[in-house]
Amino acid sequence: MAQPNASQIIEGQKQDWNRVAGGWEKWDRAFDEQMAFLNHRLVADARLHAGMNVLDLGSGTGYPALLGAQVVEQSGRVTGMDLAEQMLAAAERKATRLGLGNVSFRTGDVTDLPFDANAFDAVTSRFCLMFLPEIPKAAAEIARVLKPGSWVAAAVWSAPEKNPSIGLSMAAIKQVIELPAPDPTAPGIFRLAKPGELASFFQQAGLVDVTDQEFLAEWVYASAEEYYTSLMEIAAPVQNLMAKLTDAQKQDVKQRILQAASNYTRAGRIVFPMAVRMVAGRKPV
């Protein structure tokens, strides 16, 4: 089968994330509660402070753009960009609820940024860059729009075995249907899991002082059922694989996922380890 080209992948991403936007909004509070530390880490790594003009890439339903807007205060502003207008509509509702007048969201592709060179004091991005078909192009775009001396900070998923909340669903699906061996360079959740990979893309784009650190945490669900339901409602790549299954196979996969998740029971809840790669770098002065 012919491999999709870059614009077909981007169109697919747009459709996928628009489709799960309702799920992201539904589970938003749990996400906020469990992942706030990542936003704080990104804001720190990008050296955000009052008055800055910040770009957030792949903002989805608003993070870390919304925290960034609080940190840069009224004298600064944040632009959040994403392919999926329905994810951004949720982000806008959150900005309104939080009373943030200094953040705006616009649709667009990270590999083709509609901004002048040297336009931003910082760039942030959480869980987006691994979905791009042309990561070096995106790194070059980030380097182009950053002002000299300013920082980009990005979070991407580390290895599947360190992120069982995502990895075990993939493993369960593979037990039920044969999937082609994954192309390690194809866009996907774990495309940038390898140590040094995103860092080297940043370096090739001319960024300096690049750091790459694995950040360990935990992700807690009230029950295996809650985990399964949220996974199916927010994880567009998992949904795509599930769509290939018959109803009987879906039931089989569900039981396997529930069983595998229950191995992570601690004090009556499901506690998954989580490993995120935090990569930062700056444009030379």
Ligand X SMILES: C[S@@+](CC[C@H](N)C(=O)[O-])C[C@H]1O[C@@H](n2cnc3c(N)ncnc32)[C@H](O)[C@@H]1O
Residue whose C-alpha is closest to residue 151's, from 277, 47, 37? 47
Closer to ligand X by Cβ: residue 15 or 211: 15
126, 277, 282, 283: which one binds ligand X (CB under 6 A) = 126
Residue 17 binds to ligand X (criterion: CB under 6 A):
yes
Asked if residue 90 lies in contact with residue 62, where contact means CB atoms within 8 angstroms, the answer is: yes
Residue 79 to residue 220: CA distance in whole angstroms: 31
> Phi-psi category of 4—alpha, beta or left, where left has phi over 0 and alpha has psi -120 to 50?
beta
> In the complex with ligand X, which residue's Cβ is closer, 135 or 168?
135
Out of 27, 131, 202, 264, point to the residue binding ligand X (CB under 6 A): 131
- Taking CB under 6 A as the criterion, the residue among 48, 59, 153, 224 binding ligand X is 59
**Residue number, nearest CB to ligand X:** 60
128 is a contact residue toward ligand X (CB under 6 A):
yes
Max CA-CA distance within the chain? Answer: 59
Q: Among the candidate windows 128-136, 145-153, 251-259, 273-281, which touches ligand X by CB under 6 A?
A: 128-136
Cα(5)–Cα(17) distance, integer angstroms: 18
CA atoms within 13 A on the CB side of 249: 13
Closer to ligand X by Cβ: residue 59 or 230: 59
**Does residue 58 interact with ligand X by CB under 6 A?**
yes
CB 102 within 8 Å of CB 72? yes
Q: Of residues 232-261, which lie at the interface with ligand X (CB under 6 A)?
A: none
Nearer to ligand X, 81 or 257 (CB): 81
Cβ distance to ligand X smaller for residue 31 or 176: 31
Question: Rule CB under 6 A: which of 60-119 touch ligand X?
Answer: 60-61, 63, 81-84, 87, 109-111
Q: Are strands 265-266 and 146-157 parallel, antiparallel or unpaired?
A: unpaired
Question: Residues 11, 15, 18, 20: is their CA dihedral positive or negative?
Answer: negative
Query: CB 32 → ligand X: shortest distance, Å?
Result: 9
- Cα distance between residue 194 and residue 208, in whole Å: 19
Taking the complex as a whole, how short is the minimal distance between the CB of residue 28 and ligand X, in angstroms? 9
Residues that bind ligand X (CB under 6 A): 10, 13, 17, 58-61, 63, 81-84, 87, 109-111, 126-128, 131-132
